[in-house]
Structure 1
């Protein structure tokens, strides 16, 4: 079997140049009810920064065309897990991942897998809007140009991405203007449009609304609900109400302090359908957190 890195022409069924079925043992190691069709799964995921054990033994599955929220107190490892899902932690000196993260059955940390190819299929939207110092148009066109994506019309691609991000009507008359002239909420939707311009399969969102006002937050949440029709979305949020509003499934993490060093290691406590987790959690730690008794 080939383990060549993916290119812009790889198919969703064999995204990284290899076709495998998701590990059956991994399916049964997940806490809670698993999705009917999983796009990604983590299998005994452990993350280290040097000697620090940041995340311990996380097993999750992320369903196709679902929104999965990861919640929990600060320092519980949820953002670390999110960054592992498209190998962003590779950019952090001393970071080490053990276990497996499977995307359509292929371990993205396997030998020969190109992290850039992984990020083409698994895009990311960050906590703070980070438009490039370019025009609105060039922000959207940047990714397709860099990866050599074949498109019939860049104008159509840019318009389509902005429409999908519910931003077209607000910016169609100023595409050549700097992206920095947009409001914070518009900048975040521009970053979402930039992400989907390269036609990813999965969108990761790291607290995408934490820097936004309530009106802008509502627009981004509405957009997430629309995007779920075409993408799998995984979002980290400190806002439990947001998780309850937009997600299909929720994973609750907590942190266990080391008695010797005081370092806090992130643990997955419970993962289930959002309505069930919020209304009838199985673990008392989950109940205490969502009821406000700690966190």
Structure 2
């Protein structure tokens, strides 16, 4: 297994339960600084579940519990004394479908800094910096007071990225960020991801293997295994450089998925 250098987040023997159901087991991997890591695999294999563990979004799911270790710079984020709000400030998230708030473009971006109590002398500068970082400033700078719902789907997703980076996180999680977008908007988001990786550690879940191959440096392949009762549990099969996963995978299950023979 090829771990990432300069690990920002390290998973060790991660398991996730929803009540008595074990959704994910045996996940050990690391995410490197200023790299893009893609999590791929068939539906129901636990990719998004693992992603949501990285900033404790699973805390919001009734009955969910996490076992094993999720360490951010060596600190287990599931320790009782850890501030969950601070975790989510440092590890931001962009969801599958654009989900702007029913507010102005400006207030969408300013929401995170305001709700986390981030100290700033000039919110206008914070908003502009985030919108520039999300490659959206030139398109919206003259309509910051307009409702965010007036933007196109691709613009709304970039607005959500701006909202995520407004709190100055170190890590950005993206759960299938292009699945609801057309090819042109998808290309813009992919270009943006590559640009953002100069500043942020990015971890994406994607069903688009071509996207994973285009943008990521490392790839983790997950699959789901059924027990005698038919319950399917996700697990990490292989984690390595993207070049290795797509060019010369070690596990036959990875090769079968990459070549389209299952999944």
Give per-residue Cα distances to partners, 1:84-123, cap 9 Å, x unaligned: 0000000101101000100000000012112111101100
Q: In structure 2, what is the equivalent of residue 293 of structure 1? A: 261
Match in the other structure for 1:28: none
Q: Deviations for 1:160-181, whole angstroms, at most 9, x for unmatched residues?
A: 1000000001001100000000
Q: Following the alignment from structure 1 to structure 2, what is the Cα–Cα distance between the partners of residues 291 and 209?
A: 22
- Is 1:232 aligned with 2:175? no
Contact 2:4 2:31 in 1 (8 A): yes
1-structure distance, mates of 2:133, 2:52: 24
TM-score computed with the length of structure 2 as normaliser? 0.99
Is the counterpart of residue 191 in structure 1 residue 195 in structure 2? no
1:171 to 134, 140, 143: 140
TM (norm. structure 1) is 0.88
Query: What is the CA–CA distance in structure 2 between the aligned matches of 1:292 and 1:177, rounded to whole Å?
Result: 45
Please state whether the residue corresponding to 2:249 is helix, strand or coil: coil
Match of residue 242 from structure 2: 274
The list of structure 1 runs, each at least 4 consecutive aligned residues, that deviate by more than 6 angstroms after superposition, is: none
- Which SS does the other structure have where 2:26 is aligned? strand
Is 2:87 the counterpart of 1:118?
yes
What does residue 221 of structure 2 align with? 252
Structure 1: gaps spanning 5 or more residues? 1-31
SS of structure 2 residue aligned to 1:174: coil
2:172–2:200: 8 Å Cα contact kept in structure 1?
yes
**2:40 corresponds to 1:80:** no
Q: Equivalent of 2:150, from 181, 185, 198? A: 181
Asked if 1:138 corresponds to 2:85, the answer is no
Alignment of 1:48-67 (within 5 A): 48-67=17-36
Q: How does 1:17-28 map to 2 (within 5 A)?
A: none
- Stretches of structure 2 that go unaligned for 5 or more consecutive residues are none
Query: CA shift at 1:152, angstroms?
Result: 2.3
Number of matched residues? 263
In structure 2, how many angstroms separate the alpha carbons of the residues matched to 1:36 and 1:172?
39
Contact 2:85 2:116 in 1 (8 A): no
Shift of 1:192: 0.1
CA RMSD of aligned residues (A): 0.6
Determine the structure 2 residue equivalent to 1:19: none
Which residue of 2 is the match for residue 3 of structure 1? none
